[in-house]
A and B are shown apart, each in its own frame.
Chain A
């Protein structure tokens, strides 16, 4: 009897402590994520008034407009193009670098620092530097290699030039995650494989990749989500007068234009709601697919 009441007192105690400890996070999530999410969905069914006053309910009109808006359809294509170009390269290059930097080579902490550096720099500063590297008249790239390429104003390549900036910025972060994963792989697996006569490539494919597949999966999912939301590099690198903008602007960029430049918050919200659905769909697909290739011990 005595024992039981003690236990229940302890459970209540733990219960309270548990909530107290997660409360800051829950409040943060509510205020910064959940409430804005609901507000956005609410706005997408409205024609919004100035400064959040006088919203008029218009049902699905925003969605109707969206699906007949060529700019939106084009920007979905642009966003997908960017993601397909950015994610695989930033993951594969980072993985290779991580494997190389996991070996005992001279100055490896210097290399690790250098590759991680882009993560520390403000994205706006990165975009500004790249903007002038890419400049067709005065840019370092064209002048150094004596080229005449319109990196950021040729409609057929601009989106890939933007993706290169994304790859460059993400490699360091991905690499650090992979390095952490690689440290966990027991050395004896490689030794055993070595005794059995496996080549370096074979042990990479059959030991390294399966062993770090949970981290690989995590990186791919989060990077995909981030890539679908690309905005700052496009915003910083391209002007409204850029002939390639139409074939480069992402959904988030279009959302920014509608919401904050043209002040049509309702339509802007509709655009991000659609983006949210696309991202959820892709992530759900990945969650299903992971059962085929991710090994959790």
Chain B
């Protein structure tokens, strides 16, 4: 009996090996070389990116494999790959890291290819985004997207509390007043939510709307202790201390998106990259909508911190031409329009965002488009992560009510200046 089972297993293993080998042989006939390797970090965008790649493969016959690695591990993996000389062929770049990668010659210089390309013309993309991926006047990536920030609100909770929905005339004080009415004493609902680590979509916008800044133009000095910055951040302190936001530990454990998607908070500031996630969640799809960020009464500004990812190619890829074709396609008007209409994200190519607006008719995506009037590029320097983490750690103390905001801002500036001096 036992013998039979063993021989059965062996037969099974051998036949399956044969089947797989057959499959491989068949594949090899269709595409002579391996697919290009593509690495990204956002699983929400993966289905859309795959569809665009399918279009590309249909056109050119070049295949590409997408691998998604979450944000934290992405950079670990990428820097290990960079050091070991095994980067993926094509991957996303971010302003936090681009300077280091470009200055170490890890990305393919695409300046000449852009000059020759009929599909890519630098004029068609925001200048700020090119600046993120330019080093010594050479281009190292093609802009992929832009993002803006808007205010998400839960219509059902607003209706229950009898508060009018946010509109384009709202000031930050209106938001504060509304949050007060929306917050329930038993802690079941909080009016607002901005965890300390959400800087780009959160409190950075407050600072720049108030004419403050995080880092100086020459990247040498922190602006965290600028009077305008401190003034803006005092608004946040009010929200923290009057318990209009969930306690820091709750925001940290569950995350802003989960709290918002479960009707625990009525308002939150979120970037346009979150649209896909809120669309795919049943509750937020049914109950939530989007408005522009509130206006700063004093300055009349409504700044939106924005960032744009870039499609980069590894400097030592063996298939630079194929990789360039893929990146060129992603950056072309056609690829960018596809990205917008599939609702992957807003596209960097000018005037393509109209398509994106209609990708989720239920949400007022126009709010994100309207935020494009006053855009400020996400503060960055050569080693952004290092000072950003130092600032976040100080802010954690403020958010946990262990330190007043003014002292926190000054301490953050002190630490940030120390790190910038070493850069």
Residue among A134, A137, A239, A260 having the largest count of chain B Cβ atoms under 10 Å: A137
- The answer to whether B264 touches A261 (Cβ under 8 A) is no
Q: B383 contacts which chain A residues (CB < 8 A)? A: 262-263
Chain A: minimal CB distance from B260 (Å): 13
What residues on B are CB-neighbors of A150 within 8 Å?
Answer: 249, 253
Q: Are B396 and A261 in contact (CB under 8 A)?
A: no
Assuming the contacts A241-B392, A262-B385, asked whether A51 and B249 have C-beta atoms less than 8 A apart, the reply is: no
B392 x A136 contact (CB < 8 A): no
**Extra inter-chain contacts (5) besides given A241-B392, A243-B252, A244-B249, CB under 8 Å:** A50-B103, A51-B83, A51-B104, A137-B264, A243-B400
Residues on B close to A: CB < 8 A?
A: 72, 75-76, 79, 82-83, 100, 103-104, 106, 195-197, 248-255, 258-259, 262, 264, 383, 385-386, 389, 392-393, 396, 399-400
Describe B's contact surface by its main secondary structure.
Answer: helix
A137-B254, A263-B385 given; A243·B75 CB < 8 A: no
Whether A136 contacts B249 by the Cβ 8 Å rule is yes
CB–CB B248/A241 < 8 A: yes
Q: What is the CA–CA distance of A135 and B247 in the complex, to the nearest angstrom?
A: 13
A240 touches B83 (CB 8 A): no
Contacts of B72 in A (CB 8 A): 261
Could you list some 23 contacts between A and B, CB below 8 A?
A50-B100, A53-B104, A134-B253, A135-B254, A136-B249, A136-B253, A137-B253, A137-B264, A138-B254, A138-B262, A150-B253, A152-B253, A153-B248, A153-B250, A239-B197, A241-B197, A241-B399, A242-B253, A257-B389, A260-B76, A260-B79, A261-B389, A263-B386
Per a CB cutoff under 8 Å, which of A243, A257, A260, A264 touches B396? A243
A52 within 8 A of B: yes
CB-CB under 8 A from B252, the residues of chain A are 153, 238-239, 241-243
Interface residue? A55 (CB, 8 A): no
Q: A51 to B392: give the CA distance in the assembly, Å.
A: 25
Least CB distance from A59 to B in Å reads: 17
B249 touches A243 (CB 8 A): yes
- CB < 8 Å: which of A53, A135, A260 contacts B253? A135
Closest to B254 in A: A137
* A134-173 with Cβ < 8 A to chain B: 134-138, 150, 152-154
Q: How far is the CB of B166 from chain A (nearest CB, A)?
A: 25
Contact call A241/B83, Cβ cutoff below 8 A: no
A residues at B contact (CB < 8 Å): 50-53, 134-138, 150, 152-154, 238-244, 257, 260-264
What's the Cα separation between A135 and B252 when bound, in Å? 10
| Most chain B CB neighbours (cut-off 10 Å) among A51, A241, A242 | A241
- What's the minimum C-beta distance from A156 to chain B, rounded to whole angstroms? 12
* Closest A residue by C-beta to B402: A243
Q: Are B249 and A242 in contact (CB under 8 A)?
A: yes
Which has the most chain B C-beta neighbours within 10 Å: A51, A53, A136? Answer: A51
CB neighbours (8 Å) of A152 from chain B are: 253
Query: Which B residue's beta carbon lies closest to that of A49?
Result: B104
| Least distance between B157 CB and chain A CB atoms (Å) | 16
- Bound complex: CA of A53 vs CA of B76, how far in Å? 17
On whether the beta carbons of B79 and A240 are closer than 8 Å, the reply is no
Return chain A residues, CB-CB under 8 Å to B400.
243
B284 to chain A, nearest CB (A): 16
Complex Cα gap A257–B400 (Å): 22
B254 touches A51 (CB 8 A): no
